[in-house]
Chain A
């Protein structure tokens, strides 16, 4: 096996594939990247057994063959080579020799046969969606995913497929984010799958703000997203996502409407003096006025007043100010509506111009 590669065309797919390779591995082969050459194509594969990333690029060689190279070292070498460098990669017994200009590296290899492959997805459900839309779904919700929660099914993003809508839902049990886009899906029964947190982060990195399509395959235990030049496969979390519909307030009695940006800025300032751990904030509502008060264990206090549209009774409720800021910065509308039932029930925040994203936050008892 003997190929010549251009640093500039190699670097991007290599880094994408390398990003799933974990620094610390129990299985030595998992710190390597699989290189397969066949029919004028180089296929790069990286995996952590949960997420697999496969990239392809054309190469000019009549050779074919497979080998694995240590991911981090190979990437570091490519990165450190000068721009527009050319690399010659050649196998000699169980070593790989890389030559570029006056540089020469000998890397240890491991046999390709040991590299774990995710089997092809059997009879998958297939559909397409623009990269842009898929990106939006993730962007608008991913910050609400749980992290290392014992309720393992919360440590990911739930994708809900129904005939005309593709919906993403994330929750850590304290707040919840829902975003939906229109889509033509070839199904009759709605279906839910949960993507693990790491897969979500990796996929997000691959997606671009473009109209090009992402082709999605859904199997029993895996999801695959095929993008031009790169394909992403992830295991699904085997678990039942909680009934999210049930916690979205249906008809909240207390409605506040206001401009998003000034509210965000006011809460952002107040948050400076919140308790670093609990991030508690008290909202006091009275006729057309919202007051946010925040204090910390050092007895320092912040108070912000804001004119809003509100015609309900005087009312107090506590929140984690970070959850509020996350929702307000994800929303793109100029005007937002906050719907509340009482101080013990979840509250709903959504944009007035864009109803695709909704945020639910559970209050705090202060």
Chain B
């Protein structure tokens, strides 16, 4: 197995610098406004020198680095460039699992005979991205996803680290336990208490001991410490769900505003279904309240769909149901579709389905909206709020 983890260096910030060369070398922070409880989405390396990192509250970032150029994120632009990066990946392998706009796993096991060793492929991808997009990526190469992800992070920016199959332990042993997938503050604290700091020490523990201490998760840690990770690269064409979510700058209690957001996101999820040529059967929504309590609700349709109207309607019904029992302000709202398949569903015609709700009419409407949005940029054309 040869897995690449490709991670763009300071992606959003680098894109902004590329778009405006006058920013080169200056500390650039992309993120939401400090007043609106914004967080740092990306910081250029010049800003990182001041201790600024992503997910940090913007207000704090600006205190650390008062001279930084603060920019609002332009997600449509990043998403467009992300597509261009994926197109480069696709030259070398069809097995691409995007994790977000700026990182992805690639399984290049079957590509070796065509393009050379994994290191050669990694170099070519980095070069293509630099030549064509003027951006810099770091790549980790390893026999599995876990190791590849650590490797890409070790020599940033512009890194290229390979973990050879016979050098896994040499690579892993000196690393701190927090490098293990899933080890954060809580488990990290536990290890600290046990006097365990490196992965080598974890490897020295018995499976039984880890299981006793951490339950099933302990077994998982034991596997990781030995450099084992059986998870395959799940490429987009095997995707299990398509979803979208949004954290509000200020918690929202107004039902009408939540409905409007949900329709907006439902429309985008439907658009992505159509673009990736999927149909989905189960529509789900996710609500996180101010107290971080999270609620998910799902509805399975009679037949799979990719229609904006059907997805939005199902999502709105779920939202109305969920909000009928609570009126707590909402911090995060998400909508997604699972149960994906790529074959069009069998469609039983309806005797009385004339008018604008007819499936054919809805399909035409969706196709037209997609064509306009593809041509003139996303979200030029949206639905009015007329669903009930």
The chain A residues found within 8 Å of chain B, CB to CB, are: 171, 173-176, 242, 247, 275, 278, 280, 318, 320, 344, 346, 360, 362-366
Question: Can you list 21 contacts pairing A with B, beta carbon distance less than 8 Å?
Answer: A171-B351, A174-B350, A175-B351, A176-B351, A242-B351, A242-B352, A247-B351, A247-B352, A278-B348, A320-B348, A346-B349, A346-B351, A360-B351, A362-B348, A362-B349, A362-B351, A363-B349, A364-B348, A364-B349, A365-B344, A366-B346
B347 at the interface (CB under 8 A from A): yes
| B349 and A174 contacting across the interface, CB-CB below 8 Å | yes
| B350 and A173 contacting across the interface, CB-CB below 8 Å | yes
Add 10 more A-B contacts to A171-B351, A278-B348, A346-B349 (CB < 8 A).
A173-B353, A174-B349, A247-B351, A247-B352, A278-B346, A362-B348, A362-B350, A363-B349, A365-B347, A366-B346
| A173 and B351 contacting across the interface, CB-CB below 8 Å | yes
Beta-carbon contacts under 8 Å, B7-63 to A = none
| 0 or 1 for each of B317-357: is its CB under 8 Å from A? (1 = yes) | 00000000000000000000000000010111111110000
Bound complex: CA of A365 vs CA of B348, how far in Å?
6
Chain B neighbourhood of A175, CB < 8 A: 351
Nearest CB of A to B359, in Å = 9
Chain B neighbourhood of A344, CB < 8 A: 349
Chain A neighbourhood of B349, CB < 8 A: 174, 344, 346, 362-365
User: Residue on B with the closest CB to A247?
Assistant: B351
Bound complex: CA of A363 vs CA of B350, how far in Å?
8
Q: Number of contacting residues on B, CB 8 A?
A: 9
User: Residue on A with the closest CB to B345?
Assistant: A278
Which A-B residue pairs are the 7 nearest by beta carbons? Answer: A362-B349, A365-B347, A278-B346, A247-B351, A242-B352, A364-B348, A362-B351
A-B pairs under 8 A by CB, number? 39
| 0 or 1 for each of B145-179: is its CB under 8 Å from A? (1 = yes) | 00000000000000000000000000000000000
Chain A neighbourhood of B353, CB < 8 A: 173
| B346 and A364 contacting across the interface, CB-CB below 8 Å | yes
Bound complex: CA of A242 vs CA of B348, how far in Å?
18
User: Residue on B with the closest CB to A343?
Assistant: B349
Bound complex: CA of A278 vs CA of B349, how far in Å?
12
Bound complex: CA of A280 vs CA of B347, how far in Å?
9
Chain B neighbourhood of A280, CB < 8 A: 346
User: Residue on A with the closest CB to B346?
Assistant: A278
Bound complex: CA of A243 vs CA of B122, how far in Å?
65
User: Residue on A with the closest CB to B344?
Assistant: A365
Nearest CB of B to A161, in Å = 22
| B346 and A173 contacting across the interface, CB-CB below 8 Å | no
Chain B neighbourhood of A173, CB < 8 A: 350-353
Bound complex: CA of A318 vs CA of B348, how far in Å?
9
User: Residue on B with the closest CB to A363?
Assistant: B349
Chain A neighbourhood of B347, CB < 8 A: 364-365
Bound complex: CA of A174 vs CA of B346, how far in Å?
14
Nearest CB of A to B268, in Å = 27
Bound complex: CA of A346 vs CA of B344, how far in Å?
21
Chain B neighbourhood of A365, CB < 8 A: 344, 346-347, 349
Nearest CB of B to A293, in Å = 14
Chain A neighbourhood of B346, CB < 8 A: 275, 278, 280, 318, 364-366
| 0 or 1 for each of B350-372: is its CB under 8 Å from A? (1 = yes) | 11110000000000000000000
User: Residue on B with the closest CB to A154?
Assistant: B352
Chain A neighbourhood of B351, CB < 8 A: 171, 173-176, 242, 247, 346, 360, 362
Bound complex: CA of A318 vs CA of B344, how far in Å?
15
Bound complex: CA of A275 vs CA of B303, how far in Å?
13
User: Residue on A with the closest CB to B352?
Assistant: A242
Bound complex: CA of A242 vs CA of B349, how far in Å?
16
Nearest CB of A to B313, in Å = 12
Nearest CB of B to A21, in Å = 33
Chain A neighbourhood of B344, CB < 8 A: 365
Bound complex: CA of A278 vs CA of B348, how far in Å?
8
